[in-house]
């Protein structure tokens, strides 16, 4: 299939299996700006690495217009990895042609002369990515980091300046901007991620990779849900759905030592963090982790308890679809009679979805910000 310009690629991209809606796009002006900026630097033999590609725009766009020899890609979300393969099949007629999907680490960055990055949401994630680039790529590497101007902050420049001697913001175009970073300062010392902190209020050590929700801190919704854990039933198989650093999984496992717990998330950084959190608290034998999109690989009816602090942000916009997807998944994976414990912001109207997808739902607690509900999976045991 002849694919020679970005117009052959970008309009065909979709987000599935991630949530799709008319107001949610699979690519943005930053992808185009990054690719146009890269075209000015690209030359034969220059190793190209893409980090943070949302749904494949950078990877498939690079294959179309940059003619890279080899192209390596890292995406934190399994949904992004899957969307890239599905889009490659659609656009190129081949799900894995021309690129290799890798974790953030040495193999991804060895030999990279140019790195294209969609700027992440948090400074911690940017810090970990910049550290990896400096540690594993060569001394001549150039990092092009792009984002929507409204989501960029001077803190991002400061993080990049810690890792690179030259950090130069380029002119903005269509409300996007690229920052060019070069002259890696050299990564001495041990890797800083995961960051490990002791949370004295719950007597737990928490491990956090850069990209994980809430970092090594306790989210206030999670804190409220944790107060109900001692009164929850001792499940045979409990699931921490959207586990982040795995605090709920670890605390449930500790208080219910006879239960097996699965901590699952779509984010590679989250499952790596949850695995480390379980390990440093002596719970590795009880907690297993799984990177998965809304438990898609788990059989129906295999859990008797699910803990859920759902996301309510999709990308930078606010969209309830991501939380609703997890509630629907909980209904599928719970056995009849099984329990879903959910914490959510009081203004979010999750109640009808809980009743529809899971079963009868009661409010177990409310504070000024959050509601905790218990839904019992309908059907005969
Ligand atoms: C509000 S955070 C809660 C994290 C953690 N449970 C806690 O309480 O600190 C929601 C989590 O859901 C995850 N998530 C969002 N959509 C998901 C999906 N489709 N499949 C699996 N996990 C998902 C996010 O990556 C994020 O870690």
Say yes or no to pLDDT of 347 above 90. no
Find the helix or strand (DSSP H, E) in which 270 lies: helix 268-280
**Domain end call among 157, 184, 211:** 184
φ, ψ dihedrals at 44, nearest 5°: -55, 135
The minimum-distance atom of ligand 1 relative to the CA of 218 is 9
- Average pLDDT rounded to a whole number, residues 302-309: 98
How confident is the model over 243-289, as pLDDT tens digits? 999 999 999 999 999 999 999 999 999 999 999 999 999 999 999 99
**Which domain does 231 fall in, by range?**
195-376
The minimum-distance atom of ligand 1 relative to the CA of 293 is 20
Label residue 313 by pLDDT band (50, 70, 90).
low
Q: Do residue 339 and residue 210 come from a single domain?
A: yes
- The answer to whether residue 381 sits within a structural domain is no
- Can you give the pLDDT at residue 154? 96
222 lines ligand 1 (CB under 6 A): yes
- Can you give the pLDDT at residue 23? 85
Say yes or no to pLDDT of 328 above 80. yes
- Can you give the pLDDT at residue 186? 78
Share of the chain above pLDDT 70, in %: 97
Substitution site in 17, 20, 121, 213 for ligand 1 pocket (most atoms within 8 Å of beta carbon): 213
Q: Do residue 224 and residue 332 come from a single domain?
A: yes
How confident is the model over 38-78, as pLDDT tens digits? 999 999 999 999 999 999 999 999 999 999 988 999 999 99
265 lines ligand 1 (CB under 6 A): yes
Q: Do residue 149 and residue 206 come from a single domain?
A: no
- Tell me how many domains the chain contains: 2
Q: Do residue 244 and residue 296 come from a single domain?
A: yes
- The answer to whether residue 319 sits within a structural domain is yes
Say yes or no to pLDDT of 318 above 80. no
Label residue 316 by pLDDT band (50, 70, 90).
very low
| Cα radius of gyration (the chain) | 22
* DSSP bridge partners of 117: 51, 145
- Can you give the pLDDT at residue 317? 47
How is the chain split among helix, strand and coil, in percent rounded to 5? 35, 25, 40
Provide the CB-side half-sphere exposure for 263 (13 A, CA). 31
Q: Do residue 43 and residue 19 come from a single domain?
A: yes
- Can you give the pLDDT at residue 2? 60
Q: What's the CA gap between 290 and 303, in Å, rounded?
A: 14
The minimum-distance atom of ligand 1 relative to the CA of 222 is 8
Say yes or no to pLDDT of 33 above 60. yes
Label residue 160 by pLDDT band (50, 70, 90).
very high
CA 84 to ligand 1 centroid distance, Å = 21
User: Residues 102, 73: contact at Cβ < 8 Å?
Assistant: yes
What CATH number has the domain bearing residue 147? 3.40.50.150
Q: Do residue 86 and residue 160 come from a single domain?
A: yes
């Amino acid at each position: 299939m002849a694919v020679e310009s970005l117009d052959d690629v970008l309009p065909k991209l979709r987000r599935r299996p991630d949530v799709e809606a008319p107001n949610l796009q699979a690519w943005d002006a930053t992808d185009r700006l990054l690719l146009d900026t890269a075209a000015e630097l690209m030359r034969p033999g220059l190793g190209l690495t893409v980090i943070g590609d949302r749904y494949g725009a950078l990877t498939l766009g690079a294959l179309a217009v940059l003619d890279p020899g080899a192209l390596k890609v890292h995406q934190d979300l399994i949904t992004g990895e899957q969307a890239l393969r599905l889009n490659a099949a659609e656009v190129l007629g081949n799900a894995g042609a021309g690129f290799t999907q890798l974790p953030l680490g040495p193999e991804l960055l060895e030999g990279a002369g140019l790195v294209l990055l969609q700027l992440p949401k948090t400074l911690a994630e940017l810090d970990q990515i910049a550290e990896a680039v400096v540690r594993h790529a060569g001394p001549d590497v150039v990092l092009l980091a792009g984002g929507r101007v409204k989501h960029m902050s001077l803190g991002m420049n400061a993080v990049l300046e810690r890792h690179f001697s030259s950090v130069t913001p380029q002119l903005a175009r269509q409300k996007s901007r690229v920052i060019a970073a070069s002259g890696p300062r050299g990564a001495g010392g041990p890797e800083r991620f995961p960051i490990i902190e002791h949370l004295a209020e719950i007597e737990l050590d928490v491990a956090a990779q850069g990209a994980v929700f809430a970092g090594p801190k306790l989210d206030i919704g999670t804190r409220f849900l944790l107060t109900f854990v001692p009164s929850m039933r001792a499940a045979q198989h409990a699931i921490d759905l959207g586990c982040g650093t795995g605090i709920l999984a670890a605390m449930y496992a500790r208080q219910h030592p006879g239960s097996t717990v699965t901590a699952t998330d779509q984010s590679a950084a989250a499952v790596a963090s949850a695995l480390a959190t379980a390990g440093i608290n002596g719970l590795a034998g009880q907690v297993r982790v799984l990177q998965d999109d809304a438990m898609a690989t788990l059989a129906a009816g295999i859990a008797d308890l699910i803990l859920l602090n759902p996301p309510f942000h999709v990308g930078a916009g606010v969209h309830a679809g991501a939380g609703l997807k997890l509630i629907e998944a909980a209904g599928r994976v719970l056995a009849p009679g099984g329990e879903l414990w959910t914490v959510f912001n009081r203004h979010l109207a999750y109640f009808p979805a809980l009743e529809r997808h899971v079963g009868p739902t009661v409010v177990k607690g409310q504070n000024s910000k959050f509601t905790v509900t218990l839904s019992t999976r309908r059907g005969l045991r």
